[in-house]
Homo-oligomer: A and B are copies of this chain.
């Protein structure tokens, strides 16, 4: 069996997320598997490094699949880009060791959240960022971000649908950068629960707007109660940026 590693970029706007849902193929995984099944002449299943929610984008999602047929990296890449819809692109294909597994081997993930922080809408980025009209205080947001670093039980920052055995995750870094009217929040960790990044960003926005005090965050984490967290940032602003192996 040949094992192929794919690097995938997508505009998640019109999809129900990464993970295939039954027979519906309005998912990124579904779209890619359908094309690969045609190429391979056998049923293909791809393994993603992790799921992205409905509407969430990816700059470099990683997935792998195995097939008996031999095709070069270039052939796989061309075939996929020829038949995939234009909002999903395969930007790299590598043949990898048989043992490579996108999910088990993933060490960490970096998500990026894009906020457009001007009074007016950004005509070209309106579907690719969250628009916050009121000026955010990034100093306060940076102060708040420090409370998320390290290992915590993130139950308060998860969705009730999370069925993970452990809610403990480790955040390695959380950076907040400003450029040309945008605020970009980059968060790297060993794993993220369902909705976790969007809930963390939601809290940071509340702090930036002065609606919540940064010092309240440790208490929210400790409470392990979802009801303690406020708004959740919209899916349009979230990008899976990098998967580390």
Contacts and interface: CB of A to CB of B under 8 A. Distances in A.
Interface string A1-19: 0000000011100000000
Interface stretch (A44-52, A121-129, A190-198, A223-231): A121-129
Contact of A120 (B57, B90, B128): B90
A78 B133 CA distance: 11
Say whether chain A's binding surface is mostly helix, strand, loop, or mixed.
loop
A123 B81 contact: no
B10 A119 contact: no
Nearest to A8: B123
B11 A89 contact: no
A37 to B, nearest CB: 20
Contacts of A119: 77-78, 81
A61 to B, nearest CB: 11
Contacts of A87: 121, 123, 126
